[in-house]
Structure 1
Amino acid sequence: MLAYLALQPDGTGRARTAALLFPDAEDPLGALRWNLSELRRTLGAESVGGDPLRLVLPAGWHCDVLTALHPAGDADPRAFDGQLLEGLAFADCPVFESWLEDQRHRIENCVLALLYEASLAALSAGRADDAVDLATRALRLDPFNADCHAALIKALLSLGEYRRAREQADKCRDLYRRELGLGLPAEVRRALVDADPVAEPGLPASAATVRSYLDAAGASLSAGSVDRGLEQLRLAVGLAQRTDDHHLLAESLVTLSGAMIHQAGGRGAEVADLLHRALSAEGPDGVSRTAATAFRELGYLSVQRGVPDRAAGWLDRAMRAAEGLPDEQARILAIQGMLASDTAHYGDAVAAFTESGRLAREVGNRRQQAFSDALLGRVHLLRGDLEQAAACLDRARNWVAGEHWTAFEPFVAGVRGETYLAAGRLDAAADLIDRSWVMAELAGDHCYMALAAGAEARLFLAHGDLAAAEHWINRGLEPTPWYLWYSARLLDVAAEVAIATGSPRASEFVERLAALASRSGMREFVVRAQSHRAALGDEAAAQTVPWLAKEIDNPALTAFLDRRHGVSL
C-alpha cells in the first residue's frame, strides 16, 4: 500500500485503492482502514488520510523510489539499486500485479536514463573515471543500449584508454550480431571517431570568427545544405573552445546540437554529450536562453526515448531558465504537450499546446504555430474529437505550406489522413496517407515512416483487406524510430491486425507493446496492450483493463473497450 500511495502524486480514491489491494476481502474498505492505521502508526498521524488519499512523508523521512523519479541535483544514481518491492509477487491480486509490473519497468527505465545522463555530465565536467563507472552500470541494466555503449567508449577515449574503447566496441558489435543479427550501431561507430574538423591554423579564435561561422551555418541550413552547415557549426565549436568565452562556447554547442537533432535526425549520445557540455560551460542554474534551449532539447530527447519522468524534470528546468522569453516558452510548452499526450494526460496536453500556439502567434513564429496546432490535432484525433482535430490539422497544413516546411509535412498529412479515416472518408484518407508515406520514405525519416505505415495498415483494415494491412505492418516495422510513441502506435495496430487474422505473431506484438508502453509510461497503450491480451484469452488482463482505463479521460478509448469487451467505465 505504501508503494502504491507513493506513486500516486495526485492522490487516489479510497474505494479505488480498496478495490485494487483487497479485492477478495469481505469488507475491502474496512481492510483499507486497518492498513492505513498501521501505516500512520509507523509514519505519523498526518502521513496519509483524506479522500482522495495522499501520502505526505514526515520531515526526516525519504522514499527511494520518489528520489529516483524526481532526483535532486546532487543525487547519485548509483544509490538506486534493485527493484520496486523486490522479491514480492501478488498472484492472488492480478490487477495490482499488473500495476506493479508496469511501475517496475518505468522505474528501471528512469534509473537507466539517470545513469546515462550522469555519465555524460561527468564526462563534460572532466570526471572521465566517474563517467566510465556510470556508463558501465547503465549497461548492466540494458546491454543493448547503443547510447550507453557510446557513452562508455567516449569516457574511455577521454582517459586515453584506446585499446579498451576498441574492445568495448567489439563487444557491442558481437552482441548485436549474435543476438539481433545487426551490425555495429551508428552511435557506437561515431563515438570511436573524432569527427570535429580543425580550423585553419592561422584563423584567429575570437568572438567575431565564431559568430561568422554560426551565421554561415545558419544560412547553409536554411538553404538545405545540412552537411555543410554542420561542418561550419563544428568549426564554430572548435574555435569557441580556444576562447575564454564560456557563454559563446555554450551557445555554439547548443546550436550544433539543435541542428543535429532537428535537421540531421540526431538523437543519440553524440547529441546529448554536446548538450551536457553546453550546460557545463554555461552553468546549469539561472535564466539564460542558451541554458533554456539545452534543457528543452534534453527534455525533447527524453520524450522521444520514452523516459517521461526525466523529460518532465528537464522541461521544468527549461521553463525556469526561459523566464521572460516567450518564444522559447512556446517551444518548451509544445514539448510538455507532447509529453502529456504520450502519457495520456490529454487535458494537460490541450492546455500546453493551446498556450504554446498563443505565444507563437504573439512572437510571429509560424513554424511553431504549425507544430503546436498539428500536435493539438493529434490529441483531438486520439480522443475522437474529429471536427477539432480537422480544424487544427488544416491550420497546420496551411502554415506548413506557407513555410515550405516539407520535413514536417509527412506528420501533418498522415494525422490528417487518419482523421478522414476515423470519419469514414476512406478515399480522402488514402490520398493523404499515401502522400505521408511517400514523403517520409523519400526523406528517410524513420519516425514518420512508422506513422504512415501504421496509418496505411488502419486504412486497409477498414477496407477489410487484412493481407494488405499485414504488408504495411511489416514495412512499418523495418525502420527503427527514435520517437518510441510511433513504435507503440504501430505495435498497437499490428496486434489488432494479427488478432483479426489469427496470426501466431499476435502474442509477440502484444508483449512488445506491453513492455514498451509500461517502460515508457504510455498509459493508454498499457491499457490497449492489456485489452489485446484479454482478446487472446488472458483472464487476469481482462480484470485489469477496466481498472487501468478508468484513470484515462478518453472517450475514444472508452468506446473501443466497450465495443470489444463490453466494458463500461
Structure 2
Amino acid sequence: MTVVRLLGPPHLVGSAPPPGRGRKPWALLALLLCSTGPVPRSRVIDLLFPDAADPQAALRWTLSQARRAVGDAVRIGGDPLGREVADGVHVDVLDVLAGRAPVGWPLGEATLPLLEGAEPDVAEFGVWLHGRRRDLAVAGARLQRTHRARRFSPAGRGAVRDLVRIGEQVMDAGAARDGTAILAGAVRRARALGDDAVLAEALAHYGRGYVHAVASTDPGAAAALREADRLATRDGLADVAALARRELGFVATATGDQAGARRQLDRADAAAAGRPEAEAGVAYGRGFALVDTLASAGAVAELDRAVALTEAADRPRAAAAAYAMRGRARLQRDEDEQAADDVARARALVAELDWTPLRPWVEFLHGEVLLRAGRAAEAETVFADARTLAEVLDDACWIALTGRGLASARARRGDPAGAAAALRGTRDTLVAAADVCCWIELHIRDALCAVTAAFDEPAAFAESRVLADRAERAGLGEFAVRAARHRARLGDRDAAREQQARAGRYDNPALLRT
C-alpha cells in the first residue's frame, strides 16, 4: 500500500521512486492535492515562481521533480494542472478533508502542519500555506474527535446560544471554518437538548454563516436554513423565520434562481414586518437580487432603504454591507461618483469595526472605483492586497473577484494578453467550483470579452456568446446586453441592434452606451 504524506515532513510510504529535489515539488503537490479542482498554470507561477527569470521553465522542472517524488502514485499534468490519485493509493490530506478514517497513517498525526519543515521560501506561497494549514488543523481535529467517538457534554439553552454567539464572533474575526464548526456544534447540542426554538436559531445562524463565508451553494447549509424556517414558522418565531427565508433568498440569487429568490424574499418580508432590523436585512437581500436584472434602479432603491434602516437601528456591520452593495449597483449603472461615496463609507465602517471578512469585498470595489478614475497603478496595488487577504480567508468569491480586478488593471497598463490568460485561469477554476456565486462568473466573463477583443476577435466573439447564454439562464439579463455590446464593438451590426433592443427593456442607462 502506498501513502502520500503531506502532513508533517512530506514523504512517500510504501514505495521508493527516485527522490525529487527541493521543496517546491512538494509544495506543488500540496497545492494540487488541496485544491477542489484543476489549478491554472498562471496561478501556480504566481504562488511558486513570482520572481523567476523564466517561470515556465521553472514550472516544467518542478513538475518533473514532483513526478519523480511520487512516481505513479499521483499523476499530474494538463493545463490547467490537474491531479489523479492512482487506485490503491492513499493521501493523508485527502482523508482529512473528506473526514474519513486514515488508511496507512496514524490518526494522531491528523493535525500535523502541512509541509512541516519543507516550506519553500516564497512569500506568496506562504500566504496560501498559512490558510491551508489552518483549515487542515480544524478538519484534522474534527476527524480525531469523530473517530475517537468522544461524546459532547449536555448543554442548556443558554449554553447553546452562547455557542452561537461565539461562533459568529469567530467568523467575524476571519476564521470562517472555525466559526462554522462552532455553529455546527451548537446545532448538535440543540438537537440533543430537544428544544425546537433553540434548534431553529442555531440552524439559521449556522446556515447563514456557511453560505456567506464557506460555500454559497452548499446543500447541507441550505437544508439547515429550510429546517430553521419550518421550525420557526411552526413555533411563531418571526425573527428566525425572517432570517432563514432571507438567507434562502441569498442562496437562490447566488445560484441564478431569480424566481426562487423573489419568493423567499417575499416570505421573509412578511415575517419581518414591523421589525426594522429584519426589514433592513430583507431590503439588502432584495437589492442584491435585483442588481444585473431588469430592475437595476429598483436595486438601488432597496439598498437606499437598507442603508436608512441599518443606520436608524445603529447596526454598523449591516450598514457597511448595504453601502458596499449599493456601491456595486451604482458601478453597474456607471454612477461613478455616487458609487465612490458609498465605497468610501463602507471602507470607513469596515476599518472602524476591524471587520476582516468583508475587507476583500470593499477593497475590490475601491479598486474598481480607482480603475474608473484612470488610476490603474493604484488600483492594481489595492487589488493585490485584497487578493492576498482573500486567500488567507480562503473565500472563493473574493479570490475570484480580486483576480478579475488584477487582470483588468493589468490590461489597462498595457498587457491585455497576460490579463486574458489570468482571466481564463480564474474562469476555468470557477467553472469547477460550485460554491462561487453565478454573478461573479459573469463578471469575469464580461471582463474577458473586453480584454480579449484587443488582440483576439474570434475568441472575444466566442466568449461573448457564452456570456449571453449563461446570463439568460441565470436570469441576469444585463450581462446579455453587455455581451451584445461586446460583439457590436467588434463590428457585428446585428449585435448593435440587439444591444439597443435589449437595453430598452432595462432601467439602466449604462447599457445604452455603445
Q: Show the counterpart of 2:442.
A: 488
SS at match of 1:342: coil
The question of 1:541 aligning with 2:495 is answered yes
CA RMSD, Structure 1 to Structure 2 (Å):
3.3
Q: How far 1:432 sits from its partner (Å)?
A: 2.1
Q: Matches of residues 553-564 of structure 1 in structure 2 within 5 Å?
A: 553-559=507-513, 561=514
Among 341, 344, 360, the alignment partner of 1:391 is 341
Among 457, 465, 490, the alignment partner of 1:511 is 465
Q: Matches of residues 311-460 of structure 1 in structure 2 within 5 Å?
A: 311-460=261-410
Among 189, 197, 205, the alignment partner of 1:255 is 205
Identity %: 31
Q: How far 1:253 sits from its partner (Å)?
A: 1.0
Q: Deviations over 1:491-523 (max 9, x none)?
A: 011112222212543243222211210011112
Is the contact between residue 473 and residue 490 of structure 1 (CA under 8 Å) also seen in structure 2?
yes
The question of 1:529 aligning with 2:479 is answered no
Measured in 2, the distance between the counterparts of 1:453 and 1:213 equals 35
Q: Show the counterpart of 1:35.
A: none
Is the contact between residue 320 and residue 350 of structure 2 (CA under 8 Å) also seen in structure 1?
yes
Is the contact between residue 207 and residue 221 of structure 2 (CA under 8 Å) also seen in structure 1?
yes
Q: Show the counterpart of 1:497.
A: 451
Consecutive unaligned residues of structure 1, counting only runs of 5 or more, are 1-145, 147-176, 562-569
Q: Matches of residues 281-320 of structure 1 in structure 2 within 5 Å?
A: 281-283=231-233, 288-320=238-270
Q: Matches of residues 184-203 of structure 1 in structure 2 within 5 Å?
A: 203=153
Q: Which amino acid aligns with 2:204?
A: V
Is the contact between residue 191 and residue 270 of structure 1 (CA under 8 Å) also seen in structure 2?
no
Is the contact between residue 290 and residue 296 of structure 2 (CA under 8 Å) also seen in structure 1?
yes
Q: Matches of residues 123-162 of structure 1 in structure 2 within 5 Å?
A: none
Among 470, 479, 495, the alignment partner of 2:420 is 470
Measured in 1, the distance between the counterparts of 2:453 and 2:475 equals 24
Is the contact between residue 373 and residue 392 of structure 1 (CA under 8 Å) also seen in structure 2?
yes
Q: Deviations over 1:62-103 (max 9, x none)?
A: xxxxxxxxxxxxxxxxxxxxxxxxxxxxxxxxxxxxxxxxxx
Q: How far 1:205 sits from its partner (Å)?
A: 5.5
Q: Which amino acid aligns with 2:507?
A: D
Q: Show the counterpart of 1:268.
A: 218
Q: How far 1:461 sits from its partner (Å)?
A: 3.1
Measured in 1, the distance between the counterparts of 2:152 and 2:349 equals 45
Measured in 1, the distance between the counterparts of 2:415 and 2:509 equals 27
Q: Show the counterpart of 2:189.
A: 239
Q: Which amino acid aligns with 1:428?
A: E
Q: Matches of residues 25-104 of structure 1 in structure 2 within 5 Å?
A: none
Is the contact between residue 211 and residue 218 of structure 2 (CA under 8 Å) also seen in structure 1?
no
Q: How far 1:334 sits from its partner (Å)?
A: 1.0
After TM superposition, the score normalised by the length of structure 2 is 0.66
Is the contact between residue 239 and residue 272 of structure 2 (CA under 8 Å) also seen in structure 1?
yes
Q: Which amino acid aligns with 1:312?
A: R
Q: Show the counterpart of 1:24.
A: none
After TM superposition, the score normalised by the length of structure 1 is 0.60
Q: Show the counterpart of 1:117.
A: none
Is the contact between residue 254 and residue 278 of structure 1 (CA under 8 Å) also seen in structure 2?
yes
Is the contact between residue 176 and residue 393 of structure 2 (CA under 8 Å) also seen in structure 1?
no
Is the contact between residue 284 and residue 291 of structure 1 (CA under 8 Å) also seen in structure 2?
no
Q: How far 1:379 sits from its partner (Å)?
A: 1.9
Is the contact between residue 257 and residue 474 of structure 2 (CA under 8 Å) also seen in structure 1?
yes
SS at match of 2:182: helix
Q: Deviations over 1:452-497 (max 9, x none)?
A: 2222333233334322322331343243261111111110111122
Among 259, 265, 280, the alignment partner of 2:230 is 280
SS at match of 1:299: helix
* Distance 1:408-1:213 versus aligned 2 partners, 3 A rule: closer
Is the contact between residue 168 and residue 209 of structure 2 (CA under 8 Å) also seen in structure 1?
no
The question of 1:520 aligning with 2:474 is answered yes
Measured in 2, the distance between the counterparts of 1:216 and 1:493 equals 40
Q: Which amino acid aligns with 2:459?
A: R
Q: Deviations over 1:406-458 (max 9, x none)?
A: 22122212222222221223333333233233322333322222222222333
Q: Show the counterpart of 1:153.
A: none
Measured in 2, the distance between the counterparts of 1:542 and 1:281 equals 52
Measured in 2, the distance between the counterparts of 1:482 and 1:382 equals 20
* Distance 1:249-1:371 versus aligned 2 partners, 3 A rule: same
Higher mean Cα deviation, 209-218 or 346-355? 209-218
Q: How far 1:244 sits from its partner (Å)?
A: 3.8
* Distance 1:182-1:543 versus aligned 2 partners, 3 A rule: farther
* Distance 1:455-1:222 versus aligned 2 partners, 3 A rule: closer
* Distance 1:182-1:255 versus aligned 2 partners, 3 A rule: farther
* Distance 1:235-1:431 versus aligned 2 partners, 3 A rule: closer
RCO comparison, higher one (Cα < 8 Å, 6+): 2
Q: How far 1:298 sits from its partner (Å)?
A: 0.4
Is the contact between residue 377 and residue 392 of structure 1 (CA under 8 Å) also seen in structure 2?
yes
Is the contact between residue 457 and residue 490 of structure 2 (CA under 8 Å) also seen in structure 1?
no
Is the contact between residue 278 and residue 294 of structure 1 (CA under 8 Å) also seen in structure 2?
yes
